[in-house]
Amino acid sequence: MTDSGLWVGILTALTALGAGYITARATLRATRAQAETTTRAEALREERERRRSAYREMTSCAHAFNVVTWQIDDVDAARDRESRGRLLTQMCERIGPAIGDMNRAMHEVRLDGPASVSDAADHVRNMARRVQQRLNALLSDDSSGRRDAYDAAYQDFRAAYVTFIGLARGALEVKDT
């Protein structure tokens, strides 16, 4: 009997060791999976915050650009050619730095992506440059044709900006996976 008792004890001990080993491996896997999930969630959260910051800066720069372009109403309301010329010159002086800021912000968006939003930010900047060119052309000739070209360039800029906002918003949405 002592031999069978010994064998039962040995089998019980081996069963306990095996069960402990299996439990430890399962716990290790669960812990590893949880750590990976937490790390991935944190990385996604950081990416989203970087993108949000870059997109916010781009929209802020586009707004600053808009503030300059909206002064065209003051130019239109000016009573004499000299006042119009002075206001146009002020706009031209202010629009360059606004585009420079937008250029810097666009490169931040380019770094954080995704590509569709980066391309949209680049398009916004390019449309802003077109507005600047049309504004500069108004300095030498403020005819209705030049003014219409300025308005059309601004409308293209505005459409590009609205597209950028939509794509940026989509890139920031939390997706169920």
The total number of structural domains that make up the chain: 1
In a domain, 142, yes or no: yes
In a domain, 34, yes or no: no
Q: What is the largest CA-CA distance in the chain?
A: 120
Reading the block at residue 137, the tokens are 């052309």
Q: What is the CATH number of the domain that holds 84?
A: 1.20.120
pLDDT (tens digit, 9 = 90+) per residue, 79-122? 888 888 899 999 999 999 999 999 999 999 998 889 999 999 99
Q: Name the percent of the chain lying above pLDDT 90.
A: 52
Res 133: pLDDT: 94
In a domain, 167, yes or no: yes
The 10 Å CB-count burial string (b at 16+, else e) for 80-109 is eeeebbebbeebeeebeebbebbeebbebb
Q: What is the mean pLDDT of residues 18-36?
A: 83
pLDDT band at 156 (very low <50, low <70, confident <90, very high): very high
Res 3: pLDDT: 75
pLDDT band at 177 (very low <50, low <70, confident <90, very high): low
In a domain, 42, yes or no: no
In a domain, 15, yes or no: no
CA-to-CA distance for 45 and 157, rounded, in angstroms?
Answer: 31
In a domain, 44, yes or no: no
In a domain, 23, yes or no: no
Angstrom distances, CA of residue 144 to CA of 7, 76, 147 = 105, 11, 5
Res 10: pLDDT: 78
Boundaries of domain holding 65: 50-172
In a domain, 18, yes or no: no
